Amino acid sequence: MKQNEVAIIQNLKECEHVNVFRMLEDAFSLLKLDEKKKSIPDWNPLGEIINPGDIVLIKPNFISHSHKLNPNQWEQVITSGELIEAVIHFVHKALNGKGEIIIADGPQTDSDFDLIKKRLGLEKTVEKYHTSGIKIQLLDLREDRWFTKDGVIYDRVKLKGDPKGYTTVDLGDSSEFFTYNLSGRFYGADYNVEETRSYHSNGIHKYVLCKSVLDADVVINMPKLKTHKKTGVTLSLKNIVGVNGYRNCLPHHTVGTPDENGDEFPTNNISNKIQSRAISLFKSILFIRGSKGGTWFRKVKKIGGEVFGSTQVVIRSGNWYGNDTAWRMVLDLNKILFSFNGSGQRRTKKLKYLTIVDGVVAGEGNGPEAPDPKFSGVIIVGFNPVAVDTVCSTIMGFDYRKIPVVSNAWKIRSFPLVDFLSTDIEIVSNRAEWNGTFINLENVKCMDFIPHFGWKGHIERYL
C-alpha cells in the first residue's frame, strides 16, 4: 500500500452500463491489495486498511439531486449508486461482522436528500447490509435545508444533522489564509457576510466539522470526476467540503474587483463594480429581513440577471481561475480532516484513508452543479488525495500546476498532506500508455475535458 501509487481503470465499452464492481476489483488488483489471496473466495482487498470493529466513513459527492438546468439528469453530477454499493461490499467484507459503516455528506443547502437517496437506490443498499448484522447509517450532515425559487431563499428548515454533533477547529496561522493578501471581505454560503468574516479575521481561521467524520477510523472519499467554477476541478480535495457542519464559515470568494483587492470578478470595469455593490446591498437587505425573500426580491434578482447576464454565462461570484479564496478553504478542511479528531485535538494515530474517484460518467463544462456529461469510463483509486487529484487533473487534460487547489496542496507548510514529490507518483493502469511514472503520464495525450468557462484557456494542457 503505497501513498504515491494511483490506479486508473478505463472501460469505454457502453460507458453508461459498465460493470463498476469489476472495475473496482481490477483497480484493487493493480494496487496489489491482499495480493496473495486474489485467486480465492476470501480475497479481502480493503483488509489492509480496515480492521474488524472499525468505524468506516464513506463520503460520496451528493451535491444535488439533479443537474441545475436539467432536472432529469444527475448521473454526471453525483457519485454513482452502483459504485457506492460496490465499495460497501468490500468494506463489509473487511469488517467481518464487527464495526460500523456511515455513508455521509452535506449536500448543497437547497438539495433534496430524499430524492438523492431514491435516485441512487441507497435505501435499498442500506437495508441489504443492515440485514447482514453490520450497523450502517446514511446521514445528511447539513444542519439546515433551504428552499429557493429563482435563486432566492424563501424558507429554511432545521435538520437533524450529524448525530454526533460538530467540532470547531481554529487553524490560526497554520491556515492557508496565512499567505492571503486580499481584503478579507469574504462571502460564504449565506447572506450574513459578517458571520463568515468573524470566522476568519484577526489571525483566527475557524471551521466547523462533523464529528462522525473526524471520529471515523477510516475515511473512503468518493468524489465525482468534474470541473468546478471556483476551484477548476472538484476531486478528492474539494469533496471534503461536504464534511463541514456549518457552511457560512467557509469563504467562497472575496468581494470586489481585483483593484479593490477582491476576486469576485476578473476585471475592474465599471459594470463589475456596480454589480458587486448591487449584489452586496441586495443580500444585506435580505439578511436584515430575516434571510428570506418573497416575490419582490425574486423580481429584483430577475431584473439583475437580465441587466448583467446569467451566472451560467457571465463570470461573477469568484467563478474564475483567479479565485484566490476558495482553494485555501478547501486545503484547510483537508488539513483538519487528516490532523484532528472529533474532540478538536491533534490525532494520536494516522487517519486511514482511501480515494475512489467516479469518472465513469464524469462532468465537464459548467460544474459542479450544471456540467455536461463526459463518458470517460474511468475509476481512479489511491491512498493520497493530492496524488490522486494530480493524476485526475492530468488525465482530464489539465495542467495541475495551473489549478491552485491542486498545485498548492504540494506546497503546504503546516499540516502537510503529502511527503513525496509529484515526480514520485507511480501509475498502474489497464491502459498500457498510462502505466509508469507521472512524467510519462504528462507526456501522453489523455482526455480533453472542457473547463468551466471562467477557467477556459488557462488550465488546459492541449491549447
The model's pLDDT over 10-50, given as tens digits with 9 standing for 90+, comes to 998 755 578 999 999 999 999 999 988 777 788 999 999 99
pLDDT number for residue 308:
64
pLDDT number for residue 313:
78
Joined grid coordinates for residue 455: 477557467
pLDDT number for residue 297:
55
**Inter-residue contact 415 to 425 (CB < 8 Å):** no
CA pair distance 83, 81, nearest whole angstrom: 5
**Inter-residue contact 304 to 150 (CB < 8 Å):** no
Joined grid coordinates for residue 313: 454565462
Q: Which residue in 321, 322, 317 sits closest to 232, CA to CA?
A: 321
pLDDT number for residue 14:
57
CA count, 13 A, side-chain hemisphere, 97: 0
Q: CA torsion angle for 417, 212, 51, 420 (degrees, to 10)?
A: 0
Q: Which residue in 280, 128, 276, 314 sits closest to 197, CA to CA?
A: 280
Predicted confidence (pLDDT) per residue in 370-417, tens digit? 999 999 999 999 999 999 999 999 999 999 999 999 999 999 999 999
Q: Which residue in 7, 40, 41, 39 sits closest to 26, CA to CA?
A: 7
Q: Which residue in 351, 337, 370 sits closest to 453, CA to CA?
A: 370
pLDDT number for residue 61:
98
CA pseudo-torsion sign 24, 25, 31, 33: positive
Cis peptide before 368 (omega within 30 of 0): yes
Counting as low any pLDDT under 70, the low residues of the chain are 14-16, 282-283, 286-310, 463
Q: Which helix (H) or strand (E) holds 67?
A: none
Contacts of 139 (CB under 8 A, 6+ apart): 102, 103, 104, 105, 162, 163, 212
| Strand residues in 31-86 grouped as ranges (E) | 55-60
Which residues on neighbouring strands pair with residue 168, listed in sequence order?
A: 208
Helices 81-95 and 122-130: crossing angle in degrees, nearest 10, is 20
**241-268: b or e for each residue (b if 16 or more CB lie within 10 Å)?**
bbbbbbbbbbbbbbbbbbebebbbbbee
**Inter-residue contact 252 to 231 (CB < 8 Å):** no
In this prediction the pTM is 0.95
**Inter-residue contact 234 to 224 (CB < 8 Å):** yes
To the nearest whole percent, how much of the chain has pLDDT over 70?
93
Which residues on neighbouring strands pair with residue 138, listed in sequence order?
A: 103
Joined grid coordinates for residue 283: 443580500
> Which residue's entry shows cell 457560512?
248
